[in-house]
């Protein structure tokens, strides 16, 4: 079952790309997307292993990740809208109130 590693490699690559995206981009929506990307990379790993190990727990767990991702997207975007209403920008570096 050598090609299982392939899926794992791909998910690792996607995950690291997502990380780089989160760290570099200033636009909060793009950060949001990168987080989604990271989540999906993890989903892929889950499904690969569930298929490989033969029990479906992994896949069911992916279900839960999806619900969480959905919930997160909803709340996150509401935040971004609220943020936009106050600051007229969604640039992450503007929000600096939470400091000493």
Partner 1 sequence: METLFFLIISLVAIVSAILVITCKNPINSALALIMTFFCLATYYVMLDAPFMAAVQVMVYAGAIMVLMVFTIMLLNIRVNATRQQSHKVLFSIILGFFTLINTLVIIFKSRAALPTGPYSGDMIKNIGHTELIGKEMFTNFLLPFEITSILLLAAIVGAVILAKKKI
Partner 2 sequence: MFDNVWLIPILPFIGFLINGLFGKKIKNETVIGTIAAGAVFGSFIVSCMTLYKLLSLGSEERLAEVKFFSWITSGTFNADVAFLIDPLSCIMIMIVSGVGFLIHLYSIAYMHGEEGFYRYFAYLNLFTFSMFLLVLGNNLLLMFVGWEGVGLCSYLLIGYYFHKKSAGDAGKKAFVMNRVGDFGFLLGLFTLFWYMGSTHNVWTITFSEMAKTSHLLPTGGVVTVITLCFFLGATGKSAQIPLYTWLPDAMEGPTPVSALIHAATMVTAGVYMIARMNYLFIRSPETLTVIAVIGACTALFAATIGTAQNDIKRVLAYSTVSQLGYMFLAMGVGAFGAGVFHLMTHAFFKACLFLGSGAVIHSMHGALHHAHSHDDAQDMRNMGGLKSKMPITFATFLLATIAIAGIPGFSGFFSKDEILWQAFSNPHHGSLNILLWGMGAIAAGLTAFYMFRLVFMTFFGECRITPKAKDHLHESPLVIVIPLIVLAGLSVVGGYIGIPKVIGEVLGGIPNYFEHYLDPVFKYSEEYMSVHGAHGGIHNIALEWGLMGTSVLIAIIGITVAYALYVSNTGIPVKFVAAFPALHRAVYNKWYIDELYDFMIVNPCKSFSQFLWKGFDVIVIDGAVNGVAKSVMALSGVFRLMQTGLLSNYAWSMAFGVVVMLSYFILK
- In the chain, count H helices and then E strands: 3, 0
CA-derived radius of gyration, the chain:
17
* Least separation in angstroms between CB 100 and partner 1: 21
Q: Is 86 in the site for partner 2 (CB under 8 A)?
A: no
- The residues, ordered by sequence, that sit 6+ positions from 55 with a Cβ below 8 Å of its Cβ are none
SS (H, E, C) 19-43: HHHHHHCCEHHHHHHHHHHHHHHHH
Stretch near partner 2 under the rule CB under 8 A, chosen from 40-48, 59-67, 75-83, 90-98:
90-98
Stretch near partner 2 under the rule CB under 8 A, chosen from 44-52, 56-64, 72-80, 89-97:
89-97
Alpha-carbon distance of 42 to 69, in angstroms, equals: 12
CB nearer partner 2, residue 1 or residue 97: 97
Look-up: residue for tokens 């997307």? 33
* Least separation in angstroms between CB 8 and partner 2: 15
Q: Is 42 in the site for partner 1 (CB under 8 A)?
A: no
Alpha-carbon distance of 23 to 64, in angstroms, equals: 26
Positions in the binding site for partner 1 (CB under 8 A): 1, 3, 5-10, 12-21, 23-27, 29-30, 32-34, 36-37, 40, 43-44, 47-48, 50-57, 59-60, 62-64, 66-75, 77-82, 84-85, 89-91
């Amino acid at each position: 079952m050598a090609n299982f590693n392939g899926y794992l490699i791909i998910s690792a690559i996607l995950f690291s790309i997502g990380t780089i995206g989160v760290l570099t981009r200033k636009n909060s929506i793009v950060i949001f997307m990168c987080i989604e990307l990271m989540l999906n990379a993890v989903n892929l790993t889950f499904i690969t292993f569930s298929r490989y190990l033969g029990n479906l727990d992994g896949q069911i767990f992916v279900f839960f990740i999806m619900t969480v991702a959905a919930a997160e997207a909803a709340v996150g975007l509401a935040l971004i809208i609220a943020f936009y209403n106050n600051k007229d920008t969604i640039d992450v570096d503007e929000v600096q109130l939470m400091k000493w």
